[in-house]
């Protein structure tokens, strides 16, 4: 069926449903708590080490990435979303790109705003990245990274610091199934010598190479060591190792990183074949890897990138960082830990117009004291029966339903019902509480372990409310009808 046939056979009032772009996923509200958990943990770890957030644009000049990441990398060769923008009034066109990663952007911003003039910078970022890859498990076209960039620091201490940060974040998230691999890829001059030896070796085994390896042989031979092709494993295992080409300084730097990791009690494996996909790395490279996610098991990649600042036109400055693939981390949390629901404290149920008006004011009062309150509101089919509202209250995950009807309005009280998910694990219970006491009662019940209902067993009806102990702080009384 052609498109126009399809259009004709559709009723006029029902437009075709649109779909998201392939490989670019929605994050639905059920997943929001998981994302928030990661984002809060990441921000808190960054704070604990004195890193400050930087936000750079999603769109940059395409040349930033071709100069920074390197022309012959997969990212720039095949995966970058880049386009010629509309010509300006002088007919000039800019080549723009969606960022495939953020290190180049952060360095660009640091140079542009002279951040390093004030001394070294500890920075972090978090946000979406874009690569036109084949979508599969653990690999999408829009994905998110949380990353660290420590700029202006030269020693092995900061390499160890960023590695420890990743470790602390995984620990805070309860992830123990991640292991650390590290390597040193030396300085560019050392790599150049290794590269010659590597090309010689691989060229001598040309017949055994796959197409990918043959294509990379003269452009990016280091990346061949990283191949996932099982047929090439024995060949790359026996290839010349960068280690043999490291000078004294590079060796000492690597030794310094390893000693600090040992001091910190962080286990690691030196993987002599570990390289990074991007051109700008030197000295320390590392990956955090899990075996629980199948083929896409690298959850964090990083290392030192001393050459990049000068490559992008700044005054040379050493730097080091990492990027964590957030979706892969969330997948890991999902497979190892039960989902935590996003629950509110109170769901407000009401019947009748006076109660509806009161309910809105009560809800505002409770929010003012810091409670999370969902007010029942009419849908397309109306406000719903008491029973259907209570169903919504249960489904909301709230600890309490606060119920207002004509009786409650008349007596200036609310009915408070403990829902199944009372945080203290109490059985469902229901009682009347004076509106003046409602906020205190709910806050007590939510923050204290003791049974607030028992404490409030003598809860007074509204006409005795004046005799009840007044709240410590006036602001925590909800508005009453008087």
Residues at the interface with ligand ATP (CB under 6 A): 101, 131, 133, 138-140, 143, 145, 277, 296, 298-301, 323, 325, 327-328
CA distance 303 to 280: 10
CA distance 311 to 282: 13
Closest CB 94 distance from ligand ATP, rounded Å: 24
Which of residues 132 and 205 has its CB atom nearest to ligand ATP in the complex? 132
Compute the half-sphere exposure of residue 232: CA atoms within 13 Å on the CB side of its CA.
21
Which of residues 37 and 139 has its CB atom nearest to ligand ATP in the complex? 139
Closest CB 361 distance from ligand ATP, rounded Å: 47
Closest CB 427 distance from ligand ATP, rounded Å: 45
Which of residues 105 and 145 has its CB atom nearest to ligand ATP in the complex? 145
Nearest to 43 by CA among 179, 178, 172, 180: 172
Closest CB 385 distance from ligand ATP, rounded Å: 46
* In contact, 185 and 196? CB cutoff 8 Å: no
CA distance 381 to 428: 29
CA distance 46 to 53: 8
Strands 400-404 and 346-350: parallel
* In contact, 382 and 388? CB cutoff 8 Å: no
Which of residues 292 and 298 has its CB atom nearest to ligand ATP in the complex? 298
CA distance 37 to 52: 19
Strand order in the sheet with 179-184: 52-53, 121-130, 142-151, 319-325, 298-304, 282-289, 179-184, 269-270
Closest CB 103 distance from ligand ATP, rounded Å: 9
Closest residue to ligand ATP, Cβ-based? 325
Which of residues 74 and 436 has its CB atom nearest to ligand ATP in the complex? 74
* In contact, 446 and 371? CB cutoff 8 Å: yes
Which of residues 99 and 376 has its CB atom nearest to ligand ATP in the complex? 99
Q: Where are the alpha helices (DSSP H) in 78-138?
A: 103-112
Closest CB 137 distance from ligand ATP, rounded Å: 10
Which of residues 178 and 209 has its CB atom nearest to ligand ATP in the complex? 178
- CA distance from start to end of the chain: 68
CA distance 141 to 144: 10
Which of residues 99 and 131 has its CB atom nearest to ligand ATP in the complex? 131
Q: Per residue in 2-22, is it b (16+ CB within 10 Å) or e — as a string?
A: eeeeeeeeeeeeeeeeeeeee
Closest CB 455 distance from ligand ATP, rounded Å: 50
Which of residues 332 and 433 has its CB atom nearest to ligand ATP in the complex? 332
CA distance 269 to 286: 10
């Amino acid at each position: 069926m052609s498109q126009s046939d399809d259009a004709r056979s559709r009723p006029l009032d029902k437009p075709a449903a649109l779909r998201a772009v392939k490989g670019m996923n929605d994050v639905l509200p059920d997943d929001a708590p998981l994302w928030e958990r990661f984002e809060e943990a990441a921000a808190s770890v960054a704070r604990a080490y004195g890193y400050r957030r930087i936000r750079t644009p999603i769109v940059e000049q395409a040349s930033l990435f071709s100069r920074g990441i390197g022309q012959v990398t997969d990212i720039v060769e095949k995966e970058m979303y880049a386009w010629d923008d509309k010509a300006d009034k002088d007919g000039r066109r800019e080549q723009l790109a969606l960022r495939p990663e953020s290190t180049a952007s952060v360095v660009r911003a640091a140079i542009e705003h002279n951040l390093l003039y004030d001394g070294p910078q500890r920075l972090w970022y978090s946000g979406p990245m874009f690569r036109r890859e084949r979508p599969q498990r653990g690999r999408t076209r829009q994905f998110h990274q949380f990353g660290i960039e420590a700029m202006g620091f030269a020693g092995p201490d900061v390499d160890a610091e960023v590695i420890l940060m990743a470790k602390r974040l995984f620990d805070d998230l309860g992830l123990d199934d991640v292991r650390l691999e590290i390597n040193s890829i030396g300085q560019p001059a050392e790599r150049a010598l290794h590269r010659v030896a590597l090309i010689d070796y691989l060229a001598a085994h040309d017949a055994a190479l796959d197409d990918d390896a043959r294509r990379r042989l003269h452009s990016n031979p280091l990346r061949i060591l990283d191949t996932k092709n099982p047929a090439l494993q024995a060949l790359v295992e026996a290839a010349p190792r960068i280690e043999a080409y490291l000078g004294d300084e590079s060796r000492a730097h690597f030794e310094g990183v390893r000693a600090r990791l040992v001091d910190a009690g962080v286990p690691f494996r030196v993987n002599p074949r570990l390289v990074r996909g991007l051109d700008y790395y030197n000295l320390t490279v590392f990956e955090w890897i899990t075996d629980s996610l199948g083929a896409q098991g690298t959850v964090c990649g990083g290392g030192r990138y001393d050459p990049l600042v000068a490559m992008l036109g700044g005054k040379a400055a050493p730097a080091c960082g990492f990027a964590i693939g957030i979706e892969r981390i969330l997948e890991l949390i999902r497979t190892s830990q039960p989902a935590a629901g996003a629950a509110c404290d109170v769901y407000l149920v009401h019947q009748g117009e006076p109660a509806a008006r009161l309910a809105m004011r009560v809800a505002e009062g409770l929010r003012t004291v810091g409670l999370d309150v969902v007010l029942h509101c009419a849908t397309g089919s109306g406000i719903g029966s008491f029973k259907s509202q209570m169903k919504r209250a249960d489904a909301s995950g709230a600890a309490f339903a606060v119920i207002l009807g004509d009786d409650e309005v008349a007596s200036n009280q609310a009915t408070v019902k403990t829902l199944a998910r009372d945080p203290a694990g109490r059985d469902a219970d229901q009682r009347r509480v004076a509106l003046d006491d409602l906020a205190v009662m709910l806050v007590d019940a939510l923050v204290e372990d003791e049974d607030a209902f028992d404490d409030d067993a003598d809860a007074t009806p509204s006409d005795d409310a004046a005799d009840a102990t007044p709240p410590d702080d006036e602001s925590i009384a909800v508005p009453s009808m008087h």
